[in-house]
Amino acid sequence: MTTQVAVTNALEVSELRVHTLAGSPVLKGVSYAIAPGEVLALVGESGSGKTTAGLAALGHFRRGLAPAGGAVTASPRDGEPVDVLGLGERERRALRGHTLAYVPQDPALSLNPALRIGRQIAEVLEAHGYGASGEERAARVAEVLGEVGLPADENYQRRYPHQLSGGQQQRVGIAMAFACRPSVVVLDEPTTGLDVTTQTLVLRTVAALTAEHGVAALYITHDLAVVSAIADRVAVMRGGEIVECGAAEEVLRRPAHAYTRELVDAVPDLDGGGGLPEPDGDTETLRVTGLSVSYGEHRVLRDVSLTVHSGECLLLLGESGSGKTTLSRCVAGLNEHHTGTVELAGTALAPSTRRRTAEELRAVQYVFQSPYSSLNPRRTIAQSVEVPLEMLTELPKAARRERVAETLDRVRLSRTLAGRLPDQLSGGERQRAAIARALVTTPKVLLCDEVTSALDVSVQATIIDLLCELRAELGTAMVFVTHNIALARHVADRIAVLRGGEIVETGPVGDVLSAPRHEYTRELLANTPRM
């Protein structure tokens, strides 16, 4: 007869409710449990409450929010279960890092730019009394760096965060979270913005650490393809409630709730789906010839050449540091330190926007990755969209305002939002506003730099559909910069693959995805998560 051993959950959340200070509900009775060594993915769109639920597991509530009922129970490795919400602030602080740990989306939020990385990990150990001596803590610093796949030697430990790549910074953040061997780790979108190769390394690191050390992991994300690669179970949140929960394969392949089905259907399909119709005509809009950029002895771009026709979309694909954003900024005139030529309809453009004519500036527009940094927080949406018309046209004020209203309609952004500030809009609405600002001058070339990287899958799908409709309607040539090859069939006609500043492969989307010629392209495809 087999003896059944009861498995104690490392984290149990029961009927958790969180309200604003005005009494509006944000979480409405959320319940879940995570066993040691298990990864529970908490998924949902922006505003669903998933980050609030994740932070509540740490006993933390953002400004303006407060717990309104329910319980959070954590089980330390070496003690009795603890009522997290019943502790005082000092006791909760002691619990975080030791029993409960956190990995934020942006490693810049967890790393001190003024401290060497070895010292930062050592400080976590010292703060929680880990180890009986400095030598023991130093050994643990080296050990945990090795566990996340980073060098543990003294030279590497003496590096500052700015001397590391984004993926290395994120793995240092994971090392800090796992340093004191916690029983629960909350990971808040830790791979958003990372290229697929780096993302794969981070996901493998998290999976290995949780399994090897029996850590319960709450993985917050909007990327369902990532969920399929790492999670044991999935909880789907909508409007502050969990609407579906179950084994990852069951939820992703046979979703029971209509909202879950919507999320699954919105995930870009790398392998299927018909391509886009061929663009009409062969009007040459943009030609780049022999473009090179160097900073000292470091060559960022190496003799890059490409063409984009009217109404066509070229997907510029590559890992972080491949040079794709530098190339886009050169085309836009935002980086004048280059050799080679950029031509628009057969006419060479000056390297700098300062020396381009108003007509040329209207013709080439740029949509930045983050609308937070590209929209003036003190201007209303209508004012921001109107700026290019004020600077680059002689339209009277009434005509400018009418053009702004028409453009907001074109990107399907309600005119009622025109008077709001950027922080009063959702992420998807802000990105539509940024696109409207770029389109208001009816450009011939639109440069889109990672414009969907931080968006929910459903919002991402609507932005992609919008861009495809606009270029078909306006005949705009588009360069779509991304590290997410899964978007290719949904947005592009052709792909150009950048590696180390060089284009290593280019061709129609179907050809590149079905029969990649270069080993690097095959590696990117192999590392792209699939549902």
* pLDDT value for 110: 74
pLDDT greater at residue 96 or residue 301: 301
Banded pLDDT at 450 (limits 50, 70, 90): confident
**pLDDT tens, residue by residue, 224-242:** 888 988 999 999 999 999 9
* pLDDT value for 282: 56
**pLDDT tens, residue by residue, 13-56:** 999 999 999 999 999 999 999 999 999 999 988 778 898 999 99
For residue 493, pLDDT beyond 70: yes
Banded pLDDT at 271 (limits 50, 70, 90): low
Please choose, from the candidates 54, 26, 45, 53, the residue with its C-alpha nearest in 3D space to the C-alpha of residue 427: 45
**pLDDT tens, residue by residue, 312-355:** 999 999 887 789 989 999 999 999 889 999 999 999 999 999 99
Q: In this structure, what token pair is assigned to residue 27?
A: 């979480």
* pLDDT value for 411: 87
Banded pLDDT at 77 (limits 50, 70, 90): confident
Average pLDDT over residues 249-266: 92
Average pLDDT over residues 2-7: 42
Domains of the chain by range and CATH?
11-114+182-265 (3.40.50.300), 284-372+444-527 (3.40.50.300)
d(CA 191, CA 173) in angstroms, rounded, equals: 12
**pLDDT tens, residue by residue, 103-126:** 987 776 679 999 999 999 999 999
**Percent of the residues in the chain that have a pLDDT greater than 70, as a whole number:** 95
* pLDDT value for 106: 74
For residue 223, pLDDT beyond 80: yes
Question: Max CA-CA distance within the chain?
Answer: 88
Q: Per mean pLDDT, which of 305-309, 370-374, 522-526 is the most reliable?
A: 305-309
* pLDDT value for 277: 52
d(CA 179, CA 140) in angstroms, rounded, equals: 7
* pLDDT value for 513: 93
Question: Given CA atoms 285, 290, 296, 299 in this order, what sign does their dihedral have?
Answer: positive
**pLDDT tens, residue by residue, 397-448:** 999 999 999 999 888 888 888 999 988 887 778 888 999 999 999 999 999 9
Beta bridge partners, 286, equal 308, 344
* pLDDT value for 255: 94
- Among the ranges given (7-11, 254-258, 263-267, 452-456), the one the predictor scored with the smallest mean pLDDT: 452-456
d(CA 512, CA 311) in angstroms, rounded, equals: 20
**pLDDT tens, residue by residue, 130-189:** 876 889 999 999 999 998 888 999 999 999 998 887 778 888 999 999 999 999 999 988
Residue 209 CA from chain centroid, whole number: 22
* pLDDT value for 141: 95
Average pLDDT over residues 265-269: 81
pLDDT greater at residue 307 or residue 412: 307
d(CA 312, CA 283) in angstroms, rounded, equals: 10
Burial classification of residue 127, based on how many CB atoms lie within 10 Å of its CB (0-12 exposed, 13-18 middle, 19 or more buried)? middle
Q: In this structure, what token pair is assigned to residue 217?
A: 């992991």
* pLDDT value for 486: 86
For residue 6, pLDDT beyond 50: no
d(CA 315, CA 116) in angstroms, rounded, equals: 38
* pLDDT value for 109: 66
Banded pLDDT at 278 (limits 50, 70, 90): low
What are the two backbone dihedrals, phi and then psi, of residue 387, each rounded to the nearest 5 degrees?
-55, -50
